[in-house]
């Protein structure tokens, strides 16, 4: 395992570096699992190239480490939301081959940056398309056609104009794409509607590679895979659709700070939302919502110690969480590590009333990040 913060902490006035410090929460990311998930996705799509969505700092896991790992697994196309993220991805790639696409479109003020860094803007409306033609017609681009998500992308009227008027002529269009709204619901009628719309568009532009499927879209089958797939979540963790799953690459390890014995009537944490009805042993661990563990993960949320379930008690606070040791078999000491996320990511997300995407991208920056593989 390779820790990101391995340098000693230097304090003015001290003659020696402080290398032995108290146990701190750490985030463990297994890059080998990411590589394995990538190869599994590529095997599911033998007729298509598997790209990787690495926006939001590679879903909170660290683009600086994740992008090279994916490149080493064979990935050659990367997607980000903002130009700043594109610069991070390009820097992470170093001299490795790879194209970096920026979802949020073309802005003339960024023309020099896009050229210099070799970033490919994704055009989302006719205004952006016209600006590209005026300011940077030689800049490689991708075109996003909206087929039913109704967020970004050329709408039906704009799409028809592009096709009828040849507005892509003499542009360097590397890819056309659309995005599925309901891929995680395999039987949703909108999936087929979007597919038919995108097939018509790609059929009118047969010489340009087409990309349609996100993680869950890959699992809808070959009809949805086209030339390039764009998985995100499936690379890192969780189930992109019910009944499916890929190995989770990340876990939080939070050290025990204190073990306590509570008596009936004792409450735990802010608001006294949980009260003991019997003698109970608890542990207070060093992690909280400042680290990205949502308050909604409290009371009954899942954590584990030596593989055994130790449910969360009461509210999650900024830096501390209490866990229930009632059923834990064995001794517990300060400095022992309690695990959060890992294989429990989807279950904890469901308990919190959210999705695994949110838990991932909220992972805090103060973790000591440790990378395996």
User: Could you state, in order of their start, the residue ranges of all structural domains in the chain?
Assistant: 45-236, 250-372
Taking residues 235-247, report their average pLDDT: 78
CATH topology of domain 250-372: Lyase, Ornithine Decarboxylase; Chain A, domain 1 (2.40.37)
Structure tokens, 279 = 């003698």
DSSP strand pairing (250-262 vs 280-285): antiparallel
Quote the CA–CA distance of 92 and 71 in Å, as a whole number.
10
pLDDT score for 239 = 72
CB within 8 Å of 143: residues ≥ 6 apart = 122, 123, 129, 154, 162, 168, 173, 175, 176, 177
Cα angle value 44/202/103 (rounded, 5°): 75
Quote the CA–CA distance of 6 and 337 in Å, as a whole number.
19
Element (H, E) at 274: strand 274-275
Does the active-site annotation cover 15?
no
Give the distance from CA 110 to its chain's centroid: 25
Dihedral sign computed on CA atoms, order 51, 55, 59, 65: positive
Marked catalytic residue, from 38, 199, 236, 270: 270
**Owner of token pair 């991708």:** 142
> Is the Cβ–Cβ distance between 70 and 38 less than 8 Å?
yes
User: CA dist 265 to 273, 274, 279, 317, Å?
Assistant: 12, 10, 9, 21
> Is the Cβ–Cβ distance between 41 and 231 less than 8 Å?
yes
DSSP state at residue 253: E
Structure tokens, 104 = 């949020």
CATH topology of domain 45-236: TIM Barrel (3.20.20)
**Owner of token pair 């939080």:** 252
Identify the CA nearest to 339 among candidates 240, 248, 205, 204: 248
In this prediction, residue 246 has a pLDDT band, given cuts at 50, 70 and 90, of confident
Taking residues 133-148, report their average pLDDT: 97
In this prediction, residue 12 has a pLDDT band, given cuts at 50, 70 and 90, of low
* Entry field: residues in the chain: 373
Does the active-site annotation cover 55?
yes
Quote the CA–CA distance of 33 and 27 in Å, as a whole number.
15
Tens digit of each residue's pLDDT (9 = 90 or more) over 32-63 = 999 999 999 999 999 999 999 999 999 999 99
Quote the CA–CA distance of 352 and 349 in Å, as a whole number.
5
Q: Which residues pair with 28 in a beta bridge?
A: 251, 370
Identify the CA nearest to 303 among candidates 288, 290, 244, 355: 288
Quote the CA–CA distance of 98 and 89 in Å, as a whole number.
10
Tens digit of each residue's pLDDT (9 = 90 or more) over 299-313 = 999 999 999 999 999
Between 201 and 10, whose confidence is greater?
201
Does 291 have pLDDT greater than 90? yes
Structure tokens, 337 = 């590590």
Of 19-23, 98-102, 199-203, minimum mean pLDDT range: 19-23
Does 360 have pLDDT greater than 70? yes
- 167-196 CB burial, b ≥16 within 10 A, e <16: bbeebebbbbbbbbbbbbeeeeeebeebbe
pLDDT score for 5 = 44
- Cα first-last separation, the chain: 7
Marked catalytic residue, from 55, 59, 357, 371: 55
């Amino acid at each position: 395992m390779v820790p990101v913060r391995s340098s000693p902490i230097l304090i003015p006035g001290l003659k020696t570096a402080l290398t032995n410090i108290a146990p701190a929460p750490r985030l463990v990311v297994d890059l080998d699992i990411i590589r394995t998930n990538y190869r599994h996705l590529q095997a599911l799509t033998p007729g298509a190239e598997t790209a990787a969505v690495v926006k939001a700092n590679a879903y909170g896991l660290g683009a600086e480490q994740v992008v090279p790992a994916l490149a080493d697994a064979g990935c050659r196309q990367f997607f980000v939301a903002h130009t700043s993220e594109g610069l991070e991805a390009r820097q992470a790639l170093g001299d490795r081959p790879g194209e970096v696409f920026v979802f949020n479109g073309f802005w003339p003020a960024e023309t020099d940056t896009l050229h210099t860094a070799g970033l490919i803007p994704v055009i989302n409306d006719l205004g952006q398309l016209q600006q590209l033609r005026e300011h940077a017609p030689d800049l490689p681009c991708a075109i996003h056609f909206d087929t039913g998500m109704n967020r970004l992308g050329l709408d039906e009227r704009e799409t028809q104009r592009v096709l009828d008027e040849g507005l892509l002529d003499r542009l360097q269009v590397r890819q056309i794409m659309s995005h599925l709204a309901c891929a995680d619901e395999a039987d949703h009628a909108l999936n087929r509607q979007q597919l038919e719309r995108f097939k018509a568009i790609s059929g009118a532009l047969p010489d340009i590679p087409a990309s349609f499927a996100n993680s869950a879209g890959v699992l809808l089958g070959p009809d949805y895979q086209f030339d390039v797939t764009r998985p995100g979540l499936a690379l890192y963790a969780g189930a992109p659709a019910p009944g499916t799953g890929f190995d989770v690459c990340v876990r939080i390890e939070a050290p025990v700070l204190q073990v306590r014995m509570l008596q009936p009537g004792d409450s735990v944490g802010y608001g006294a939302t949980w009260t003991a009805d019997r003698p109970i042993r608890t542990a207070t661990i060093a992690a909280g919502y400042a680290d990205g563990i949502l308050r909604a993960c409290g009371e009954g949320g899942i954590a584990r110690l030596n593989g055994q379930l130790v449910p969360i008690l009461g509210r999650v606070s900024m830096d501390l969480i209490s866990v229930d040791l009632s059923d834990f078999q064995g001794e517990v000491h300060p400095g022992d590590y309690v695990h959060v996320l890992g294989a429990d990511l989807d279950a904890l997300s469901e308990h919190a009333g959210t999705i695994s995407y949110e838990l991932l991208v909220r992972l805090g920056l103060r973790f000591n990040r440790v990378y395996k593989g």
